[in-house]
Amino acid sequence: MQLATKTHVPMARALKGDVLAPDPLTCAAHEIENMSEAEAHMLAAEIAETSDFDAFRLGGLLARIHREKWFVGAGHADFRSYVEQRHGFKLRKALYLVSIYESVIDLGLTWNELKPVGWSKLKELVGVITQDNASQWLATAAAEDMTVLKLHALVRETKGEAKGEGTQRRVASSEPAISASAITDAQFKAHMAAIGWEATLAVFEQNFPDLALTVEES
């Protein structure tokens, strides 16, 4: 008697257009590998926008949990252990999500105003953006050539921090110290050299927590 054999269908076939099972990953791969160029650009923009909005919602949820001390009811002694053990990210990330949420609410900003800026850049503006200067800072941050690290340097310069570590910070001005277009790559590199690689890596850690960056001297 001849036994029937099962044919193993490799996952790679999903990349050729075959939906093998109602699995979310398989369906996502099928959709991606069969969409047009225009559809790819459109979906990427939608996902990025959703990601930023979800970060806002997460910041709000964490703010409420922290404010109401709901982490105690979840079996945690403090907020740090709650976010690190239950959600798997560091307290620093939780606090900056909370700070952005609270700043957005306090300033009364709308989603249409924040959407061109993005969450990573908005984080850099916390502490310097006010109701009086919000429109100018948001326009500066949304400039096409304004990266997160350049914005970080600009905010520091506006606060007067770039003139030397250990000096007393002056009150942030109502306008960026220089315009976005005025920052050249050379100026940016010079600023990074002035504040040191330790501070530079700290910025990377804040914005890209999953990257393990180190500096090796040549």
Structural domain includes residue 126: no
Question: What is the structure's pLDDT at 49?
Answer: 77
- State the DSSP code for 161: G
Question: What is the structure's pLDDT at 12?
Answer: 55
H-assigned helices in the chain: 24-33, 37-68, 70-73, 79-81, 91-107, 111-114, 119-125, 134-142, 148-159, 185-195, 197-207
End-to-end CA distance of the chain: 70
63, 96 Cβ separation under 8 angstroms: no
**137, 89: one domain:** no
**206, 143: one domain:** yes
Question: What is the structure's pLDDT at 85?
Answer: 95
Question: What is the structure's pLDDT at 30?
Answer: 87
**56, 100: one domain:** yes
**90, 139: one domain:** no
Whole-model pTM: value is 0.59
- CA neighbours within 13 Å on the CB side: how many for 2? 3
Other CB atoms within 10 A of residue 75 CB: 10
Question: What is the structure's pLDDT at 9?
Answer: 45
Residues of the chain scoring pLDDT < 50: 1, 3-9, 19, 162-163, 165-174, 178, 180-181, 193-198, 211-218
Other CB atoms within 10 A of residue 34 CB: 13
Question: What is the structure's pLDDT at 208?
Answer: 52
Round to whole Å and give the CA distance between 210 and 193. Answer: 24
Q: How many domains does the chain have?
A: 2
Structural domain includes residue 40: no
- Reference 176, options 107, 131, 129, 114; nearest CA is 129
Cα Rg, the chain, nearest whole Å: 23
Owning domain of residue 94 = 48-108
Round to whole Å and give the CA distance between 75 and 157. Answer: 43
**191, 148: one domain:** yes
Structural domain includes residue 5: no
**97, 137: one domain:** no
